[in-house]
Structure 1
Amino acid sequence: MVSQGRLIVITGPSGVGKGTLVRQLLERHRQLHLSVSVTTRPPRPGEIDGKHYYFVDRDRFEEMVQNGELLEWAEFAGNYYGTPLDPVKKRIEAGESVLLEIELIGARQIRERFPQAQLIFIHPPSMLELERRLRSRAQDSDEAIAKRLKRAAEEINAAKEFDLEVVNDNLDQAIKQLENVLFAVV
């Protein structure tokens, strides 16, 4: 019999570097598989359906929720985001480890529906640094950045709900800390 795989959830405020950490983990550990989320937001330039996200309309997303097709879901910035249940379940049953990069609301749903999941919260070094990172991306208005910072403070207050907390101050150190926990690397 194949041993059960693991579900690893990475959460943290927007701009904290979750995506960079996840990309590094995936490059360094081929046994990890990233779950592709489904969303109602339109694709950004260069995004490919089925690779970056599964892009659906609101009706289809709501149908997926009704049919229990999502492991978790949330509304963020006026769009729905969620994790398709079937692909995650199949990989875990096959003994593979699945990595999710999701928001706090979704992580809480995972805790309820999949209590054996390993939940990891990524902290910014400081709120000042988080604001600098958000501004350097040059994607958001001042108003949107203010909303993201307010939300970040709320998310940071929930960090104690997680199995592990990592401060992403130095990328190499943050990766090493994650690897130590996920793979018992010495």
Structure 2
Amino acid sequence: MSTTPRLVTAETLCQAVEATLRADLPGVVAAFGWTERLGAIEDWHQVPRLEAISTANLPAGAITSPGLVRPPTYSRSSGWSATWRVVAGVYVRGEDHHDTAARCRDWAGVIRTVFLANRSLGGVADGGLVWAGEEYDEQPQKSVARTLAACAVAIDVSATNVIDTAALDEHRPVESFNHTITPLES
């Protein structure tokens, strides 16, 4: 019976973050009574940098991973373990500078809440999740009362057994190491 080897990558974790946010963010926004004020994020984009979605329909969500937080570790019991930084952000526009800044900070708060309520990201983050940071960036536009702002919530996501090399054994080619030795006659 063929099994697919386990392989956890930054892509695996970004997909888990997106699935978690899609499933739980609307409910958290509603729980705070902010559905009408904040609106809904229709699309989440996985991008190399959060700035890549600054011109999308707003509010717009983005997910990225700059890579590992520290070098992976190995143990016999859990194999290779690694921790990646994953960042989820939202670009928003408000009625004025104050409204834009408030919406930006509120989006960061609800994203953080979703992460801390779902620390395993559906089981992928079996090593846990740590809230690593939060940033806000208001980008004023000349001659426009409304502004553009972005928030970014960083989490460090840990996973164990990120590559199951034992499961690869059935996929490796078979090599024979049997040799016949014939003695030389003297």
Report the TM-score, using the length of structure 2 for normalisation.
0.23
Q: Higher helix proportion, which one?
A: 1
Q: Higher strand proportion, which one?
A: 2
- Higher alpha-carbon Rg: 2
- If asked which structure has higher relative contact order (CA below 8 Å, sep 6+), I would say 1
Report the TM-score, using the length of structure 1 for normalisation.
0.23
